[in-house]
Amino acid sequence: MNSETSFPSIKSEINLFGTLIIQITLFGLLLFSFVLFFLFPIYGIYKRGIEVMLFPAIICFAISFGILIPSIRYYFFKRKLLAREITVTDKGLFYYNSEKEITEKILYSELTTSNENFDIRTINTTTTGLIPLLEIYIQSETNENVMKRLDMNLPLYVVKNRYELYAHFLKGISIFRPDLTIDPIIFHNYFINKDSWEINQKGKISWILIIGFIIILTALTIWLIFLFSKD
């Protein structure tokens, strides 16, 4: 039996609304930085004179260049090299850029055991946010075990089916690498039904509602603090 037929490939799906919100927010912040740290100092020099505004303008220009130059370099030069699609196949996990070139791949055959209680785990870091990363180990060309942390997300894009990608990749590990052990907490973290490998939509929706409630409560608290601090 063809393994591709018995284990079909799935691709990342982009949440257009969430992606639009993120990109508008980021570009809005860049525009705000440009106005605040570049245009305002120029206006200050025009209104108050170069003698008064020279030192503040130099500081603001340095800040603006520190923000804008890396952003422009990323957007115009590095953007095409970054992953824009995630695919899980019967061979492993693949990240593709906008030119359909592979930027990173994790093959099932490369996976190896770890010195931990489980070979496949999840881990939270200061940069992962609320969703933990998937921690795996691969064997390098020098036969060393190298730890890698996988995030089913894409720069400047919101992946709509990231949990499905996690589930399908883990299912592939269970089929093609049954010698590796998977931490049971993973199924809870990614809302995966370990019998069907499908996503528990009720648990996922409940988590989204909890996050939404926390965001609304935080915004309300900030608004109340601002409101009463005016008195």
Contacts of 171 (CB under 8 A, 6+ apart): 7, 197
Q: What is the pLDDT of residues 99-117, one digit of tens each?
A: 889 999 999 999 999 888 9
CA distance 127 to 129: 6
- Distances in whole angstroms, Cα of residue 142 to Cα of each of 6, 25, 79, 92: 33, 43, 31, 21
Average pLDDT over residues 148-167: 91
Amino acid at 84: R
Average pLDDT over residues 60-76: 78
Confidence of residue 1 (pLDDT cuts 50, 70, 90): very low
Q: Would you say residue 35 has pLDDT above 50?
A: yes
Question: Nearest CA to 80 among 97, 96, 95, 94?
Answer: 97
Q: Is the pLDDT of residue 230 over 60?
A: no
Residue 48 has pLDDT above 90, yes or no: no
Q: 163: phi > 0 → left, psi -120 to 50 → alpha, else beta; which?
A: alpha
- Which of 32-46, 80-94, 114-128 reaches the highest mean pLDDT? 80-94
Ordered alpha helix ranges (H), the chain: 3-6, 16-34, 40-48, 50-73, 162-176, 185-189, 201-229
Mean pLDDT of the region 54-65: 84
Q: How far apart are the first and last CA of the chain?
A: 74
Rounded to two decimals, the pTM is 0.74
pLDDT digit string, tens, across residues 163-220: 999 999 999 999 999 999 999 999 988 989 888 999 886 655 655 566 566 667 776 7
